[in-house]
């Protein structure tokens, strides 16, 4: 019985230290990943005269587009969006807000209806906050 | 086998909506049918149980009963007032106290039988039920136009880790982990495997499938939520209008929930209502304090001592026997 106790204790210690190593490892990995090269100069000018896709598509899929934009522009540095008709846009929230900030409730009308709260405005200025 | 049944059940709405265009059936008719079956079935079972007579006090106790003033008694384990019994039932409902006492028997090498404390079932069950409760309450954002305040709080607390987009909910992972544990708990032990019936696995797999489809909708497919909210508000207002353009996964989710609701009154899931009605838990242990008479006992003709004395007074006097009334 005594031996069993110490053995299980040993197992716990091994498991604990493995977990600790895993956490440390992931923290260091994250530190490495954060050293991204400085952002390249703008590839395309912000063009807010037309939308990147038809209204119906954007209504149903804007979250997928923005998610894809965030990953490819922030993590891979690819800041150019090529629309299906060949026109090029900068992958930036400013491209959207160039038009859509004229309606202060543009995002919030639907988002508050469905209680969807993405974390965009933790960093970006929302149409609510811009004059 | 139950796993196959759940897979087939999930395929039905997928094929039905994707290829046969039956979105009206799966989005409107099915939920209403499920609601009607759930409510009537639940009520009928409760009424059936409530009509069973419970003439005597049969609580399972594990504490000192209330008797004399100077003997301490255990209010929770051997309740003798209504609110004590209510506290006992509620503590069972919210914290599963009886599962906390779960033990496990082990046969050791020297053929001694050892009972040890075994809290894993309690922990797994508790995590499972509480996560489900939080998830169901979170879903009320689909049922109200003005979203109630507790949803905001739950959103904040559940999404506390603040990772991934949309925010990852802790309960989503907890409930999946708990279901996995509860399934493997049954599969792992030969004794338990023998005891387990398809009806033990089916609800676990069904709820697991509902959670998985929900997780897929939220984190992987990123379904358009606006027509979903529209449709749920229509259902809450008992409207029979056709649903809008919603992703097929939503219909799978809704259909599986409907199946769960229909299955509910006919299955072990009725423990949700039964726990409140179970006489071994909700009765006061007051057999010493109060006499409980079985109401359908045949009436017994008693003869009291005064009646006896009335009959034999003269004879008793002659025989010099003491009498109470002259």
Q: Using one digit for the tens of pLDDT, what is the confidence trace for B246-281? A: 889 999 999 999 999 999 999 999 999 999 999 999
- Asked if residue B189 belongs to a domain, the reply is yes
pLDDT digits (tens, 9 = 90+) for A37-46: 555 555 566 6
- Domain span at residue B7 reads 2-297
Identify whether the C-beta of residue B91 lies closer than 8 Å to the C-beta of residue B126: no
Report the distance separating Cα A62 and Cα A97, nearest Å: 13
Q: What is the pLDDT of residue A41?
A: 54
Tell me, yes or no, whether A41 lies in a domain: no
Contact residues, chain A, for B226 at CB < 8 Å: 59, 110, 113-114
Residue A43's pLDDT is: 58
CA atoms of B228 and B254, how far apart (whole Å)? 10
Q: What is the CA radius of gyration of chain B?
A: 29
Residue B142: per-residue pLDDT: 92
CA–CA separation, A110 vs A121, rounded Å? Answer: 16
pLDDT in tens, B278-289: 999 999 998 888
Q: How many domains does chain A have?
A: 1
Residue B321 lies in a domain: no
Say which of A59, A114, A118 has its CB closest to residue B165. A118
- Res B193: pLDDT: 92
Q: Does residue A60 lie in a domain region?
A: yes
| Residue A43 Cα, gap to closest chain B Cα (Å) | 27
Q: What is the pLDDT of residue B163?
A: 85
The per-residue pLDDT for A104 is 84
Give the other-Cβ count within 10 Å of B184's Cβ: 11
Smallest CA–CA distance, residue B16 to chain A, in Å, is: 22
CA angle A114, A120, A122 (to 5 degrees): 115
Q: Which residue has the tokens 């990995």?
A: A29
| Predicted local distance difference test score (pLDDT) of residue B70 | 93
Which stretches of chain B score pLDDT less than 50?
none
Number of structural domains in chain B: 1
Summarize pLDDT for B42-63 with one digit per residue, the tens: 999 999 999 999 999 999 988 8
- Interchain CB contact of A116 with B (< 8 Å): yes
pLDDT means per 10 residues, chain A with 131 residues, are: 56 74 62 51 64 88 91 89 86 86 86 88 84 65
- Does residue B128 sit in helix, strand or coil? helix
Asked whether residue A77 is assigned to any structural domain, the reply reads yes
Q: Is residue B24 part of a domain?
A: yes
A129 contacts A108 by C-beta, under 8 angstroms: no
Helices B198-215, B248-263: crossing angle, 10 deg rounding: 150
CATH of the domain at B67: 1.20.950.20
Cα gap A106→A100, rounded to integer Å: 7
Q: How far apart are CA A80 and CA A72, in angstroms?
A: 9
Q: Per CB distance under 8 Å, which residues of B are interface residues toward A? A: 141, 145, 147, 151, 155, 162, 165-167, 222, 224-226, 228-229, 245
- The structure's pTM equals 0.82
Q: Report the distance separating Cα B134 and Cα B144, nearest Å.
A: 17
Rounded alpha-carbon distances, angstroms, from residue B182 to B190, B289, B291? 15, 43, 44
| Residue A75 near chain B (CB below 8 Å) | no
CA dist., res. B259 & res. B175, Å (int)? 19
Residue B216 has a pLDDT of 94
Residue A27 falls inside a structural domain: no
Distance CA A16, CA B34 (A): 47
In this prediction, residue A46 carries a pLDDT of 62
Angle between helix axes B170-188 and B198-215 (nearest 10 degrees) is 150
**Domain encompassing residue A77:** 55-122
Rounded CA separation B133/B294 (Å): 40
């Amino acid at each position: 019985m005594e031996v069993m106790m110490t053995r299980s204790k040993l197992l716990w210690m091994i498991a604990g230290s493995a977990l600790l190593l895993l956490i440390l490892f992931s923290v260091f990995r994250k530190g490495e990943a954060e050293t991204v090269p400085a952002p390249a100069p703008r590839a395309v000018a912000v063009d807010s005269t037309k939308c990147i896709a038809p209204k119906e598509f954007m209504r149903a899929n804007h979250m997928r587009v923005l998610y894809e934009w965030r990953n490819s522009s922030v993590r891979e540095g690819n800041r150019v969006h090529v629309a299906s008709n060949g026109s090029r846009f900068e992958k930036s929230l400013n491209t959207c807000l160039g038009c859509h900030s004229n309606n202060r409730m543009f995002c919030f009308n639907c988002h508050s209806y469905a209680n969807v709260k993405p974390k965009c405005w933790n960093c970006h200025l929302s149409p609510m906050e811009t004059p | 086998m139950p796993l196959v049944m759940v897979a087939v059940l999930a395929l039905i709405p997928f094929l039905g909506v994707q290829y046969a265009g039956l979105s009206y059936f799966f989005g409107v008719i099915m939920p209403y049918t499920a609601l009607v079956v759930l409510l009537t079935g639940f009520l009928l079972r409760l009424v059936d149980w409530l009509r069973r007579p419970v003439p005597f006090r049969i609580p399972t106790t594990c504490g000192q009963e209330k008797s004399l003033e100077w003997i301490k008694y255990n209010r929770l384990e051997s309740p003798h007032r209504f609110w004590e019994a209510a506290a006992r039932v509620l503590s069972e409902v919210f914290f599963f106290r009886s599962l906390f006492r779960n033990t496990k028997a082990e046969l050791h090498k020297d053929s001694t039988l050892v009972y040890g404390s075994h809290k894993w079932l309690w922990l797994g069950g508790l995590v499972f039920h509480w996560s489900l409760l939080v998830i169901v309450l979170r879903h009320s954002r689909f049922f109200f136009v003005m979203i109630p305040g507790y949803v905001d709080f739950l959103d904040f607390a559940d999404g506390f880790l603040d990772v991934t987009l949309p925010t990852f909910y802790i309960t989503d992972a907890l409930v999946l982990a708990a279901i996995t544990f509860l399934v493997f708990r049954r599969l792992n032990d030969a004794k338990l495997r023998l005891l387990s019936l398809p009806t033990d696995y089916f609800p676990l797999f069904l709820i697991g499938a509902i959670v998985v489809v929900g997780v897929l909708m939220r984190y992987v497919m990123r379904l358009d939520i606006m027509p979903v909210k529209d449709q749920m508000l229509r259902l809450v207002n008992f409207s029979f209008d056709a649903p809008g353009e919603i992703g097929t996964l939503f219909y799978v989710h809704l259909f599986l929930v409907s199946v769960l609701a229909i299955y509910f009154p006919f299955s072990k899931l009725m423990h949700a209502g039964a726990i409140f009605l179970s006489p071994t838990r909700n009765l006061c242990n007051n057999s010493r304090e109060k006499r409980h008479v079985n109401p359908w006992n045949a009436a017994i003709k008693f003869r009291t001592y005064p009646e006896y004395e009335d009959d034999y007074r003269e004879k008793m006097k002659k025989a010099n026997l003491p009498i109470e009334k002259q």
